[in-house]
């Protein structure tokens, strides 16, 4: 079937939950993806901060092929090797003592919220059930994860959600202190918010959350699904703050595109759990965890992380120097960057696509750059050349206000 016919088919057979451009992508290599007409695109989306090692990575492909020939799935009814090695590696390189595997970021949020409830019930009794979350948060689309996600457009069509969630303005220390009470079982926060507009937590804010959680016996959950695993130039975003959580959710890049999520936790949290409390048929399977172990080892490499910091600083410095039209603010850390503009971010994304660059949005007015972490300076130069063009084309009337 021709690409155009296939794109037309999407209109008929897929549930209309996504808006996609009329391009059919067929393959990728490194920093680039290709469409059915053989056109090349520079990828600064990376499958939404997922393909940290880029596309069609030979090391990843080799692990997929080898493990697929050995063992793909047995379920959590049995011990298999790869998830044990992966859990051991995650624990060795983090604050955590134990790991729970799942299949996505939303599932990781679900599990973390459930574990917090179980912990609070055992330790303090059934009254301590409240959650505190923040404006512009994003934790996923399932009912529990959605309940701590603030964006009204995501929530309202699906109400009623899980009760007992209080939203507090992000980075507002005093409001957070007041909202976190003896009734709070957990606080969930992204150290650097992704979908909500690339908002960086202040050190004082995360320190205050940690202190207040300790005062009232609430657990602190960091959602590092987007900002974790090297994206900001340290393995975990929390490292840059010197504040450690009790639970940490990870997902997006962990297996470079195969679906996996995980909750990292302290021993005290794990001690509240027992067989049967939570589970998943697919989670932690041998194929996905063998790939994740390979990916995780590469992301942990100090040389790799130094590269992310180096190109991240280069990207930020180049962006600041460009004086792009209609830009209000440039935010982020490492290779998680948001450009707040006066105007419609989707128009910029569309103009960039036409010019061979994949970028995405983080809300209506923020253009988000989350390239594969293997990006080099030359790719950044190429991307910013196209971005500048695209912004001048998409925001012509606004350029005079820049």
Ligand X SMILES: *Cc1c(COP(=O)(O)O)cnc(C)c1O
Q: Which is nearer to ligand X, 287 or 336 (CB)?
A: 336
Instruction: Return the CA Rg of the chain.
Output: 21
Q: Interface residues with ligand X (CB under 6 A)?
A: 104-106, 109, 138-140, 190, 194-195, 223, 225-226, 251-252
CB of residue 273 to ligand X, shortest distance in Å = 21
Q: Which is nearer to ligand X, 63 or 370 (CB)?
A: 370
Asked whether residue 106 is marked as a ligand-binding residue, the answer is yes
CB-based contacts of 77: which residues, under 8 Å, 6+ apart? none
DSSP annotation of 97: S
Query: Closest CB to ligand X belongs to which residue?
Result: 105
Asked whether residue 57 is marked as a ligand-binding residue, the answer is no
Asked whether residue 198 is marked as a ligand-binding residue, the answer is no
CB of residue 213 to ligand X, shortest distance in Å = 19
Element (H, E) at 41: strand 40-43
CB of residue 348 to ligand X, shortest distance in Å = 20
Give the residue from 269, 279, 289 showing the smallest Cα distance to 107: 279
β-strand partners of 336:
333
Asked whether residue 223 is marked as a ligand-binding residue, the answer is yes
CB of residue 71 to ligand X, shortest distance in Å = 24
Q: Which is nearer to ligand X, 128 or 231 (CB)?
A: 231
Strand ranges in 297-398 using DSSP code E only, listed in sequence order: 327-333, 336-341, 357-358, 360-361, 366-369
Listed as own residue / partner, the contacts of 3-12 with beta carbons closer than 8 Å and 24 or more positions apart are 3/35, 3/36, 3/37
357-358 vs 40-43, strand pairing mode: parallel
CB of residue 380 to ligand X, shortest distance in Å = 22
* Dihedral Cα 370, 375, 378, 379, nearest 10 deg: -40
**Residue 99 Cα to chain centre, angstroms:** 18
Q: Summarize the chain as % helix, strand, coil (round to 5).
A: 45, 20, 40
CB of residue 168 to ligand X, shortest distance in Å = 17
Q: Which is nearer to ligand X, 194 or 343 (CB)?
A: 194
Q: Which residues are annotated as a binding site for pyridoxal 5'-phosphate?
A: 105-106, 138, 223-226, 281
Q: Which residues are annotated as a binding site?
A: 105-106, 138, 141, 223-226, 280-281
Q: Which residues are annotated as a binding site for N(2)-acetyl-L-ornithine?
A: 141, 280
């Amino acid at each position: 079937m021709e690409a155009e016919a296939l794109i037309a088919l999407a209109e008929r057979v897929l549930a209309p939950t996504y808006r996609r451009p009329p391009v059919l992508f067929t393959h990728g290599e490194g920093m680039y993806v290709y469409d059915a007409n053989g056109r090349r695109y520079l990828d600064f989306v990376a499958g939404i901060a997922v393909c940290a090692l880029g596309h069609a990575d030979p090391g990843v492909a080799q692990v997929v092929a080898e493990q697929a020939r050995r063992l793909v799935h047995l379920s959590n009814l049995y011990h298999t090797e790869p998830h044990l090695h992966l859990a051991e590696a995650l624990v060795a390189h983090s604050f955590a003592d134990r790991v729970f595997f799942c299949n996505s970021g939303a599932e990781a949020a679900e599990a973390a919220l459930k574990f917090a409830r179980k912990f609070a019930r055992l330790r303090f009794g059934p009254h301590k059930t409240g959650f505190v979350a923040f404006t512009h948060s994003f934790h996923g689309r399932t009912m529990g994860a959605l309940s701590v996600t603030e964006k009204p457009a995501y929530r309202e069509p699906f109400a009623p959600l899980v009760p007992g969630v209080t939203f507090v303005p992000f980075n507002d220390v005093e409001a957070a202190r007041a909202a976190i009470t003896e009734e709070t079982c957990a606080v969930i926060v992204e150290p650097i918010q992704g979908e909500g507009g690339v908002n960086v937590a202040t050190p004082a804010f995360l320190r205050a959350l940690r202190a207040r959680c300790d005062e009232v016996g609430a657990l602190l959950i960091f959602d590092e699904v987007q900002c974790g695993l090297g994206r900001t130039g340290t393995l975990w975003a929390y490292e840059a703050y010197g504040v450690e959580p009790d639970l940490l959710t990870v997902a997006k890049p962990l297996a470079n595109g195969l679906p996996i999520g995980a909750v990292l936790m302290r021993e005290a949290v794990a001690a509240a759990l027992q067989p049967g409390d939570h589970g998943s048929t697919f989670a932690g399977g041998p194929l996905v965890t063998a790939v994740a172990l390979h990916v995780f080892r590469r992301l942990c490499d100090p040389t790799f992380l130094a590269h992310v910091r180096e190109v991240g600083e280069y990207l930020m410095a180049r962006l600041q120097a460009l004086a792009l039209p209609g830009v209000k603010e440039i935010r982020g850390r490492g290779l998680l960057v948001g450009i707040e503009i006066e105007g419609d971010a989707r128009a910029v994304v569309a103009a960039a696509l036409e010019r061979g660059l994949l970028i995405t949005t983080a809300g209506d007015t923020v253009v988000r750059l989350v390239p594969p972490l293997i990006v080099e300076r030359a790719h950044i130069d190429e991307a910013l050349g196209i971005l500048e063009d695209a912004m001048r084309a998409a925001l012509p009337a606004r350029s005079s206000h820049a």
